[in-house]
Amino acid sequence: MKFLDSIEIKVKAGRGGDGVVSFMRSKGKPKLGPDGGDGGTGGSVLMVGTHRLNTLSSLRYRAIYSAEDGVRGGSKRCRGKCGEDLILPMPVGTVVYDDATGEKIGELLAEGEELLVAIGGRHGLGNVHWVRSTHQAPEEFRPGAPGEERDLKLELKLLADVGLAGFPNAGKSTLLSRVSAARPKIADYPFTTLVPNLGVVELAGDDYVQRAFVMADVPGLIEGASEGRGLGLQFLKHLERTSVITYLIDVSNPEQQPAEALRILMDELANFSPELAGKRSLVVLNKIELVEPADLELQAQLLTSAGHEVLTISAVTGQGLNNLKQRLYTLVSEEKHNQSLLVDPVPVVDMDERTNSPHA
Ligand SMILES: Nc1nc2c(ncn2[C@@H]2O[C@H](COP(=O)(O)OP(=O)(O)OP(=O)(O)O)[C@@H](O)[C@H]2O)c(=O)[nH]1
Ligand SMILES: [Mg+2]
């Protein structure tokens, strides 16, 4: 059972820009005074908490995260530009450790909370700083200092975004194993799953914004579960913080129409918690390769006309799984967006203000 997402990355702050040695010049005249400017401070690496992410998947495809170097100074006392900070959005709840020492650096507990993980290099000094009455043509300068480099280990306790509710044998564990790296036990007898399993479902994305959500497979429900039949309902508390409930139904079961199965599942959830039953939901008909297309169409239509959103899949052949992942991701994002409107949004970081204050 994997309830913890964890990843190792390297962060590298920018190097400070060198100071320079330079002298004022005027045509035909010897060197006047020194005018070598300072370098810019190197950019730092910061993390900021956001509720919009729920896994560490977005960090999976790059090993090093570097902030920008400061620029070297110029003549005429010109100061080099400071390197821009690198700001990494992190799911709220991420705990950050120094991977070399195991020391905990900090954690992101709230939307917009910031954590400095690598400090930008000190800026260099130009030769103007060394001028004295007895030392009019200084050749001294200070180079920029390297930025801090650190190996980090990040850990996040996973919370499910999507919960699978279904009768025993509907194929919940099979579905989870097909769309994530989770490997729950699968078997053709009821109540194979005794404890919830979580899996991270990743969608194709570019190398920075990896789209992902967390799916929870829970034990099967049966009629009367709210009165303690089967495995009861206590495990449903794991679904209370999900954004979307997926009702997974075996459409090939000759003994039960999907509409009837759905009614029972929804009633049981409502008995456990009206809030849970009122969540955004999707009805997924599974094992479609076992039924006639015309029959499937009819069953889906019955549910659609009753106001449900219906998708059809086969967890065994893989049919419809990409579509399901995309749709669930969209629903989760919409629900999260609605939830994040209730919390403070991530503040817009003013780069100039930040990088103009030298860390020297
Ligand atoms: N033909 C077919 N069989 C499937 C499909 N999905 C799952 N199964 C089979 O259905 C049986 C039950 O699958 P599980 O994934 O264990 O079902 P579950 O919903 O997790 O069951 P519980 O853990 O007992 O609640 C297994 O034999 C699976 O191979 C499908 O799309 N088509
Ligand atoms: Mg199972």
Closest-CA residue, ligand 1 atom 30, reads 287
User: Which tens digits make up the pLDDT trace of 226-270?
Assistant: 777 777 777 787 788 789 999 999 999 999 999 999 999 999 999
Same domain, 35 and 127: yes
Same domain, 73 and 209: no
C-alpha distance from residue 9 to each of 86, 102, 204, 292, 351 (Å): 14, 14, 21, 50, 24
- pTM, whole model, 2 decimals? 0.74
Task: Show Cβ contacts of residue 298 under 8 Å, excluding neighbours closer than 6 positions.
Answer: none
Domain holding 42: CATH number? 2.70.210.12
Closest-CA residue, ligand 1 atom 14, reads 171
Judge whether 355 lies within some domain.
no
Q: What is the pLDDT of residue 78?
A: 94
Tell me the pLDDT of the chain averaged across its residues: 88
Judge whether 352 lies within some domain.
no
Judge whether 348 lies within some domain.
no
Q: Which ligand has the minimum distance to the alpha carbon of residue 319? A: 1
pLDDT beyond 80 at 38 = yes
CA 248 to ligand 1: nearest atom: 19
Q: Which among 106, 9, 136, 114 is positioned nearest to 66, based on CA atoms?
A: 9
d(CA 216, CA 59): 22
Same domain, 27 and 134: yes
Contact 16, 122 (CB under 8 A): yes
User: Strands 197-203, 211-217: parallel, antiparallel or unpaired by DSSP?
Assistant: antiparallel
Within 6 Å (CB) of ligand 1, which residues are found?
A: 166, 168-174, 186-188, 190-193, 219-220, 286-287, 289-290, 314-316
pLDDT beyond 80 at 100 = yes
d(CA 282, CA 152): 38
User: Which tens digits make up the pLDDT trace of 277-310?
Assistant: 899 999 999 999 999 999 999 999 999 999 999 9
Same domain, 150 and 186: no
C-alpha distance from residue 337 to each of 51, 57, 220, 340 (Å): 9, 19, 30, 5
Question: What are the respective helix, strand and coil percentages of the chain, to the nearest 5?
Answer: 25, 25, 50
Same domain, 328 and 214: yes
Average pLDDT over residues 112-129: 96
Task: Show Cβ contacts of residue 182 under 8 Å, excluding neighbours closer than 6 positions.
Answer: 2, 176, 197, 198, 199, 200, 217
Distance (Å) from CA 310 to ligand 1 centroid? 19
Same domain, 49 and 196: no
Q: What percent of the chain has pLDDT over 90?
A: 61
Q: What is the pLDDT of residue 337?
A: 77
User: Which tens digits make up the pLDDT trace of 50-71?
Assistant: 888 888 888 877 889 999 999 9
CA 185 to ligand 1: nearest atom: 16
Q: Which ligand has the minimum distance to the alpha carbon of residue 314? A: 1
d(CA 330, CA 309): 13
Same domain, 51 and 113: yes
CA 315 to ligand 1: nearest atom: 31
Same domain, 105 and 187: no
Judge whether 179 lies within some domain.
yes
Sheet with strand 149-157: strands edge to edge: 64-66, 4-12, 149-157, 95-98, 104-107
Banded model confidence at residue 205, pLDDT cuts 50, 70, 90: low
Domain housing 145: 4-157
End-to-end CA distance of the chain: 47
Indicate the top mutation candidate among 174, 291, 312 to test ligand 1's pocket, ranked by most ligand atoms within 8 A of CB: 174
Same domain, 20 and 136: yes
User: Which tens digits make up the pLDDT trace of 308-356?
Assistant: 999 999 999 999 999 999 999 999 989 887 776 655 544 444 434 444 4
Distance (Å) from CA 261 to ligand 1 centroid? 16
d(CA 113, CA 96): 13
Q: What percent of the chain has pLDDT over 70?
A: 92
Domain holding 172: CATH number? 3.40.50.300
State the DSSP string of 107-170. E--STT-EEEEEPPPPPPB-GGGG-BTTBSS----BPPPPPPEEEEEEEEE---SEEEEE-TTS
Q: How many domains does the chain have?
A: 2
Judge whether 64 lies within some domain.
yes
Judge whether 222 lies within some domain.
yes
Among 157, 173, 196, the domain boundary falls at 157
What is the number of H-type helices and E-type strands within the chain?
A: 6, 14
Indicate the top mutation candidate among 175, 186, 235 to test ligand 1's pocket, ranked by most ligand atoms within 8 A of CB: 186
Q: What is the pLDDT of residue 159?
A: 81
Q: What is the pLDDT of residue 352?
A: 42
Judge whether 107 lies within some domain.
yes
pLDDT beyond 60 at 1 = no
Distance (Å) from CA 164 to ligand 2 centroid? 10
Give the pair of three-digit tokens for residue 72: 């070297």
Q: What is the pLDDT of residue 209?
A: 56
Q: What is the pLDDT of residue 2?
A: 44
Same domain, 115 and 224: no
